Amino acid sequence: MTDTLLNNQMVDRMTVRIEHLDKLLNLAGEVIITSSTLHDLQREMIDAVTYHRPIVESSLQTIKAADEASRRISQDLHDLVMAIRLVEIGETFRMFRRTVRDLSRKLKKEIELEIEGEHVLIDKALAERLVEPMLHLIRNAVDHGIEQPLERTRLGKTAQGIIRLEAIEHENDTEIIVSDDGRGINEAAVIEKAQACGLIRAGETPDLTNILCTSGFSTRDQATDTSGRGVGLDIVRTMINSFNGTLEIKTHQEKGTFFRFTIPKLRAVNIIDALIVRCSNSLFALAIDKVISLQGVPVRQIQATMDRERFIRYLGEPIALFDLRELLGGGTSEILKPDLVPIVVIEGKNERIAVVVTEFLSPQKLVNVPLETDMFGETTAPGVAGTCIISGGQVGLTVDVDKLVEMATHSDGDSDAIEQDASSLLEYGDENGGNNSGEFERTPTDIPAIGHDAHAELDSKEKYQRRFMDKDSGMDSRSYELNANDVADLLDEVRRGLAELQDTLLTLEERADDKEIMRDVFRRLHALKGSFAMLGTNASADLAHRLETLLDYVRKDMIPLEKSLIDVMLDGVSELAFSTKSLPAKQPEENKELTERINTVIEAQRRQVIVTDERELLSIPFSLPPIVELQLLGALKKHSHTYETFIRFRPGRQASYLIMYLTLRKLCYFGTILATIPAIDQIEQGNCGDAVKILWATQLNEPKLTETLNELQPLYNISEHYSLTTTVFRYDSSGVLD
């Protein structure tokens, strides 16, 4: 759907509050002071060793103070990073307004989206990854849950259904709730279908969550483009599990369905207590809370069975035994003592396993830097959560214990199933890591959204400049000044602007009379038009201009703000968002179908507002701005006559709007035209019928005015005319305006 182009975009930048930057600068100052202190202490220590001088007590106290300051600054920096990365979840919730609006209109349902707890703060990475599971639930609620208005009325409900998004913050986790007041889940039908599919046996107590989240399960016999393929809830649970969260489903027949995500608070930079182990030349960090036991197991106690290659007994229970390095695709670990095997018992979400290592090292407090993940939370190296720096400056890998246990218990001991050799990424003692660049190879995420890494499209600044210096590219010469970084920044700005524009348009639909929102939408469109012009994307700039023109007609009350018009504008925003996917490598083409829709709406609305009936035209009052009122006052002071003149034109070889415009210019020789209905700019654009009403001031009296218009009648195809004297202000000889 087009809304995902705007809703799922992964923007690699975010707004930072000034107070956070001030704190960061203060901490940077403290780091400089501490670094200077340590530098002086280093010189003292070198001198003491070189000249065999004793270390004075004050130096030891200074070392202690520097150590305490360093620890405090590190913790403050970590807390500050956490605060900077937090965003209001309302930004994520509001993304679904377009989804609910479009789906409800498509399915002919009346649905309102309610948002609660929008000021709850969550990590930005979590907010982005929540979009997909919530989108699945909302689509299900609209399609499966909310009934048609007539059906709801029969059930004693309001015709308008409600989908509710709520966030609740706790000390250690955050609850995200998606609920609706629809028909609920038919548990009997679910159980019957599950039995037919062989998911449960007759008489077995069913687990509704497990059944609904089974891949491929759906109670619908035929899928639609909205739901029914049986993949939605499976994806939801997979994603929630990737956050180490839980999913709870409650349903009540004819009352609605309730989904609750309980997600532990995520960390942008994870400080963990870890056990460091060595496997051959690789270092690995295992989270202490996942480590059950460390053992040196004699080889004779390692047993084998038919279904499991190896196992040991821990507290009398058999536990499967694997090689840690082999699980990660790097071959077997070296054993220092042939008769004694170092083994670590670790615990995943549902099961324990034992892993063979080469050597136990000391526990440490580490900073884990996560690897790139895809939409399901999978890293580029399965079983590896990230990288870390171990004491002594050595680089290690942080093991994702939950994933490792899952891989071990579902791989049947086939280590060749692991495509990525995680242990070879970083070798023991290699300061640069496992490759020359010191960086891991990253793969793009698979989220159906606009790609935001513009640099991936450019090999270099020179490549971009060659692209835009091509004479056949059809680009504006002003684009030549943009380098690769400029384009990336501008594209990010455009994509954020489009997402904000969509949200503002939805607000405008709800509050059509709010002139400030109307001006806000117009300003955003105007800015986007300029940005597309800077990028040289003529088709997108032209589309933005058409949307701007359409909205300008609304601003001037030339066409009404109807839902059909909002539909066209939202589709235009989606088309602009889609066009940015190919930039800057390829120029987007004009969507002729959408252009025709915009032109059709404009022409249809124009025909509705063109006034040809004399009585209707005369009933429309003049709306005079202050400057025109002053002009009118000046005309009255000069004893000019003020008239409302009605003129109708007969059809001829030339268009009525052109003859009308020429007539108005001619009348300017006889007086001052203060206002017209339709307005002058509407007449210039042809947005008028065959009649016009004029408010003007002239020295001509009524007989002379009639004579003058009679003389103009055959020259300007005037079929009829008449004038009425009007007095807007009363001006007396004392110079006082009543």
- Report residue 322 CA to chain centroid gap: 42
Tokens found for residue 282:
């690789």
Strand 311-314, strand 317-323: pairing: antiparallel
Q: 145, 178 in Cβ contact below 8 A?
A: no
- Residue 355's pLDDT is 92
Looking at the DSSP bridge assignments, the partners of residue 279 are 282
Tokens found for residue 52:
């065999």
Dist CA 156 CA 71 (whole Å): 63
Mean pLDDT of 187-207: 76
- Three-state SS at 379: strand
101 burial (CB, 10 Å; 0-12 / 13-18 / 19+) is buried
Which uninterrupted H or E stretch holds 438?
A: none
Terminal-to-terminal C-alpha distance of the chain: 62
Looking at the DSSP bridge assignments, the partners of residue 258 are 179, 250
Residue 283 vs residue 380, higher pLDDT: 283
Dist CA 658 CA 664 (whole Å): 10
Mind listing the pLDDT tens digit for each residue in 650-684?
Answer: 877 677 788 888 889 889 889 888 888 888 877 87
- Report residue 187 CA to chain centroid gap: 35
Mean pLDDT of 228-237: 64
Dist CA 391 CA 365 (whole Å): 10
The C-alpha angle with vertex 190 and arms to 186 and 194, in degrees rounded to 5, equals: 175
Is residue 244 predicted with pLDDT exceeding 80? Answer: no
Question: Within 13 Å of residue 722, how many CA atoms lie on the same side as its CB?
Answer: 3
Residue with tokens 């399901």: 376
Residue 280 vs residue 608, higher pLDDT: 280
Residue with tokens 């790609």: 451
Is residue 196 predicted with pLDDT exceeding 50? Answer: yes
Q: 627, 723 in Cβ contact below 8 A?
A: no
- Residue 525's pLDDT is 87
Q: Which of 42, 165, 27, 161 is nearest to 94 (CA)?
A: 165
Is residue 166 predicted with pLDDT exceeding 90? Answer: yes
Residue with tokens 């004893």: 639
Q: 532, 572 in Cβ contact below 8 A?
A: no
Mind listing the pLDDT tens digit for each residue in 91-148?
Answer: 889 889 988 998 888 888 999 999 999 999 988 888 888 888 888 899 889 988 899 9
Mind listing the pLDDT tens digit for each residue in 439-485?
Answer: 333 233 232 232 333 333 333 334 333 333 333 333 333 333 567 77
- Residue 181's pLDDT is 92
- Three-state SS at 635: helix
What does the DSSP assignment read for 442-492?
------SS----GGGG-S-HHHHHHHHT-GGG---GGGGG--HHHHHHHHH
Mind listing the pLDDT tens digit for each residue in 541-586?
Answer: 888 888 888 888 787 776 778 888 888 889 888 888 888 887 777 7
Encoded amino acid at 90, one letter = G
Give the CA distances from residue 227 to residues 15, 142, 196, 209, 449, in Å, rounded to whole numbers and listed in that order: 35, 10, 21, 18, 19
Neighbours of 105 (CB within 10 A): 13
Q: Which of 383, 372, 447, 444 is nearest to 129 (CA)?
A: 447
Mean pLDDT of 156-173: 90
Which uninterrupted H or E stretch holds 177?
A: strand 173-180
367 burial (CB, 10 Å; 0-12 / 13-18 / 19+) is middle
Tokens found for residue 418:
């692991």
Mind listing the pLDDT tens digit for each residue in 128-141?
Answer: 888 888 888 998 89
Strand 352-356, strand 340-347: pairing: antiparallel
What does the DSSP assignment read for 200-251?
S-TTPPP-HHHHHTSTT--S-SS--SSS-SS-HHHHHHHHHHHTT-EEEEEE
At 220, is the pLDDT very low, low, confident or very high (cuts 50, 70, 90)? low
Q: Could you tell me which residues come within 8 angstroms of residue 31 by beta carbon, excluding any fewer than 6 positions away?
A: 73
- Three-state SS at 315: coil
Looking at the DSSP bridge assignments, the partners of residue 312 are 319
- Residue 177's pLDDT is 93
Mean pLDDT of 263-281: 77
Tokens found for residue 577:
């968002």
At 345, is the pLDDT very low, low, confident or very high (cuts 50, 70, 90)? very high
Mean pLDDT of 392-418: 71
Mean pLDDT of 163-181: 91
Which uninterrupted H or E stretch holds 643?
A: strand 641-649
Encoded amino acid at 61, one letter = Q
Q: 544, 528 in Cβ contact below 8 A?
A: yes
Is residue 270 predicted with pLDDT exceeding 70? Answer: no
Dist CA 287 CA 348 (whole Å): 11
Q: Which of 215, 15, 238 is nearest to 129 (CA)?
A: 238
